[in-house]
A = this chain, B = another copy of it.
Protein backbone atom coordinates (compact mmCIF):
# COMPACT_ATOMS: atom_id res chain seq x y z
CA UNK A 1 0.00 0.00 0.00
CA UNK A 2 2.20 2.86 -1.21
CA UNK A 3 1.34 6.40 -0.14
CA UNK A 4 0.14 9.08 -2.49
CA UNK A 5 1.82 11.82 -0.49
CA UNK A 6 -1.23 14.03 -0.28
CA UNK A 7 -1.72 17.04 1.94
CA UNK A 8 -4.38 19.62 2.53
CA UNK A 9 -2.69 21.93 0.05
CA UNK A 10 -2.34 19.20 -2.57
CA UNK A 11 -6.01 18.27 -2.29
CA UNK A 12 -7.00 21.92 -2.56
CA UNK A 13 -4.81 22.36 -5.63
CA UNK A 14 -6.52 19.45 -7.35
CA UNK A 15 -9.91 20.91 -6.51
CA UNK A 16 -8.83 24.26 -7.93
CA UNK A 17 -7.77 22.61 -11.17
CA UNK A 18 -11.05 20.70 -11.39
CA UNK A 19 -13.43 23.61 -10.87
CA UNK A 20 -11.85 25.46 -13.79
CA UNK A 21 -11.72 22.51 -16.17
CA UNK A 22 -14.82 20.48 -15.30
CA UNK A 23 -17.99 21.32 -17.24
CA UNK A 24 -20.08 21.85 -14.11
CA UNK A 25 -17.47 24.08 -12.56
CA UNK A 26 -17.53 24.96 -8.91
CA UNK A 27 -21.11 23.81 -8.34
CA UNK A 28 -20.25 20.37 -9.70
CA UNK A 29 -17.14 19.85 -7.59
CA UNK A 30 -17.21 16.36 -6.16
CA UNK A 31 -14.98 14.39 -3.81
CA UNK A 32 -15.12 11.48 -6.24
CA UNK A 33 -13.50 13.59 -8.94
CA UNK A 34 -10.84 14.90 -6.57
CA UNK A 35 -10.05 11.40 -5.31
CA UNK A 36 -9.84 10.04 -8.86
CA UNK A 37 -7.41 12.78 -9.87
CA UNK A 38 -5.36 12.16 -6.74
CA UNK A 39 -5.30 8.40 -7.37
CA UNK A 40 -6.82 7.68 -4.00
CA UNK A 41 -10.08 6.34 -2.53
CA UNK A 42 -12.70 8.90 -1.59
CA UNK A 43 -12.60 8.44 2.21
CA UNK A 44 -8.85 8.99 2.19
CA UNK A 45 -9.49 12.65 1.45
CA UNK A 46 -10.94 13.08 4.93
CA UNK A 47 -7.44 12.70 6.34
CA UNK A 48 -6.71 16.13 4.84
CA UNK A 49 -10.01 17.97 4.75
CA UNK A 50 -12.96 18.04 7.11
CA UNK A 51 -15.73 17.92 4.55
CA UNK A 52 -16.68 18.85 1.01
CA UNK A 53 -17.99 22.18 2.26
CA UNK A 54 -14.65 22.91 3.89
CA UNK A 55 -12.82 22.01 0.68
CA UNK A 56 -15.08 24.38 -1.20
CA UNK A 57 -14.19 27.14 1.23
CA UNK A 58 -10.51 26.33 0.78
CA UNK A 59 -10.99 26.76 -2.96
CA UNK A 60 -12.80 30.01 -2.25
CA UNK A 61 -9.79 31.24 -0.33
CA UNK A 62 -7.51 30.47 -3.26
CA UNK A 63 -9.89 32.26 -5.60
CA UNK A 64 -10.23 35.31 -3.42
CA UNK A 65 -6.47 35.52 -2.91
CA UNK A 66 -5.85 35.38 -6.64
CA UNK A 67 -8.58 37.96 -7.19
CA UNK A 68 -6.92 40.25 -4.66
CA UNK A 69 -3.51 39.76 -6.24
CA UNK A 70 -4.80 40.59 -9.70
CA UNK A 71 -6.87 43.52 -8.53
CA UNK A 72 -3.87 45.06 -6.84
CA UNK A 73 -1.55 44.42 -9.75
CA UNK A 74 -3.99 45.92 -12.24
CA UNK A 75 -4.42 49.17 -10.36
CA UNK A 76 -0.98 50.13 -9.10
CA UNK A 77 0.06 53.45 -10.55
CA UNK A 78 -3.34 54.25 -12.01
CA UNK A 79 -5.98 56.52 -10.55
CA UNK A 80 -9.55 57.67 -10.95
CA UNK A 81 -11.59 56.51 -13.94
CA UNK A 82 -8.63 54.72 -15.50
CA UNK A 83 -8.13 52.67 -12.36
CA UNK A 84 -11.81 51.80 -12.16
CA UNK A 85 -11.80 50.64 -15.77
CA UNK A 86 -8.63 48.61 -15.25
CA UNK A 87 -10.11 46.98 -12.16
CA UNK A 88 -13.30 46.08 -13.98
CA UNK A 89 -11.48 44.63 -16.96
CA UNK A 90 -9.19 42.58 -14.75
CA UNK A 91 -12.13 41.16 -12.83
CA UNK A 92 -13.90 40.17 -16.02
CA UNK A 93 -10.74 38.62 -17.41
CA UNK A 94 -10.27 36.59 -14.24
CA UNK A 95 -13.84 35.34 -14.33
CA UNK A 96 -13.49 34.47 -17.99
CA UNK A 97 -10.20 32.62 -17.59
CA UNK A 98 -11.08 30.92 -14.32
CA UNK A 99 -14.85 30.50 -14.21
CA UNK A 100 -14.81 27.92 -11.44
CA UNK A 101 -12.44 29.87 -9.27
CA UNK A 102 -14.46 33.03 -9.78
CA UNK A 103 -17.68 31.24 -8.83
CA UNK A 104 -15.91 29.98 -5.72
CA UNK A 105 -15.28 33.53 -4.55
CA UNK A 106 -19.02 33.92 -3.97
CA UNK A 107 -19.41 31.28 -1.26
CA UNK A 108 -20.67 32.43 2.09
CA UNK A 109 -17.95 32.22 4.74
CA UNK A 110 -18.49 29.96 7.72
CA UNK A 111 -17.30 30.63 11.23
CA UNK A 112 -15.61 27.73 13.06
CA UNK A 113 -13.83 26.94 9.82
CA UNK A 114 -10.02 26.94 9.98
CA UNK A 115 -9.86 29.34 7.03
CA UNK A 116 -12.54 31.72 8.28
CA UNK A 117 -10.05 34.30 9.49
CA UNK A 118 -7.90 34.21 6.39
CA UNK A 119 -11.00 34.44 4.26
CA UNK A 120 -12.31 37.47 6.12
CA UNK A 121 -8.87 39.09 5.87
CA UNK A 122 -8.51 38.69 2.12
CA UNK A 123 -12.12 39.76 1.56
CA UNK A 124 -11.40 42.89 3.56
CA UNK A 125 -8.24 43.57 1.60
CA UNK A 126 -10.09 43.16 -1.68
CA UNK A 127 -12.64 45.75 -0.63
CA UNK A 128 -9.75 47.99 0.37
CA UNK A 129 -8.43 47.87 -3.17
CA UNK A 130 -11.79 48.98 -4.50
CA UNK A 131 -11.88 51.78 -1.95
CA UNK A 132 -8.43 52.92 -3.02
CA UNK A 133 -9.48 52.87 -6.66
CA UNK A 134 -12.54 54.97 -5.91
CA UNK A 135 -10.56 57.46 -3.84
CA UNK A 136 -9.72 59.35 -7.00
CA UNK A 137 -13.37 60.28 -7.47
CA UNK A 138 -13.43 62.51 -4.41
CA UNK A 139 -16.41 60.84 -2.78
CA UNK A 140 -17.73 61.91 0.57
CA UNK A 141 -16.96 59.36 3.26
CA UNK A 142 -20.54 58.22 3.72
CA UNK A 143 -20.90 57.79 -0.06
CA UNK A 144 -17.84 55.59 -0.32
CA UNK A 145 -19.47 52.35 0.80
CA UNK A 146 -22.33 52.99 -1.62
CA UNK A 147 -19.88 53.47 -4.47
CA UNK A 148 -17.99 50.31 -3.56
CA UNK A 149 -21.21 48.33 -3.56
CA UNK A 150 -22.34 49.81 -6.86
CA UNK A 151 -19.00 48.92 -8.42
CA UNK A 152 -18.96 45.36 -7.11
CA UNK A 153 -22.60 44.79 -7.99
CA UNK A 154 -22.32 46.09 -11.55
CA UNK A 155 -19.20 44.19 -12.50
CA UNK A 156 -20.20 41.01 -10.72
CA UNK A 157 -23.67 41.10 -12.24
CA UNK A 158 -22.29 41.54 -15.74
CA UNK A 159 -19.73 38.80 -15.33
CA UNK A 160 -22.26 36.37 -13.97
CA UNK A 161 -24.88 37.05 -16.61
CA UNK A 162 -22.19 36.60 -19.23
CA UNK A 163 -20.95 33.35 -17.72
CA UNK A 164 -24.43 31.84 -17.45
CA UNK A 165 -25.44 32.77 -20.97
CA UNK A 166 -27.80 35.44 -19.73
CA UNK A 167 -27.18 37.70 -22.70
CA UNK A 168 -29.44 36.25 -25.34
CA UNK A 169 -28.34 38.03 -28.48
CA UNK A 170 -24.67 37.78 -29.38
CA UNK A 171 -24.27 41.51 -29.82
CA UNK A 172 -20.72 42.51 -29.02
CA UNK A 173 -20.38 41.72 -25.33
CA UNK A 174 -16.97 43.40 -25.08
CA UNK A 175 -18.48 46.68 -26.23
CA UNK A 176 -21.34 46.27 -23.75
CA UNK A 177 -18.84 45.82 -20.95
CA UNK A 178 -17.00 48.97 -21.93
CA UNK A 179 -20.37 50.72 -21.92
CA UNK A 180 -20.97 49.40 -18.41
CA UNK A 181 -17.66 50.90 -17.33
CA UNK A 182 -18.72 54.19 -18.94
CA UNK A 183 -21.97 54.07 -17.00
CA UNK A 184 -20.10 53.34 -13.79
CA UNK A 185 -17.52 56.10 -14.27
CA UNK A 186 -20.16 58.68 -15.14
CA UNK A 187 -22.51 57.53 -12.41
CA UNK A 188 -19.94 57.50 -9.63
CA UNK A 189 -18.63 60.84 -10.81
CA UNK A 190 -22.16 62.17 -10.42
CA UNK A 191 -22.44 60.48 -7.02
CA UNK A 192 -19.38 62.41 -5.88
CA UNK A 193 -21.04 65.71 -6.79
CA UNK A 194 -24.11 65.17 -4.62
Which one of A48-56, A65-73, A94-102, A160-168 is at the interface?
A160-168
* Nearest B residue (CB) for A108: B165
Q: Is the CB of B190 within 8 A of A183?
A: yes
Number of copies: 2
* A21 sits at the interface (CB 8 A): no
* A176 sits at the interface (CB 8 A): yes
Q: Which of A153-194 contact B (CB under 8 A)?
A: 153-158, 160-161, 164-169, 171, 173, 175-176, 179-180, 182-191, 194
Q: Is the CB of B108 within 8 A of A179?
A: no
* A152 sits at the interface (CB 8 A): yes
Given A153-B158, A154-B150, A154-B154, residue A188 in contact with residue B194 (CB < 8 A): no
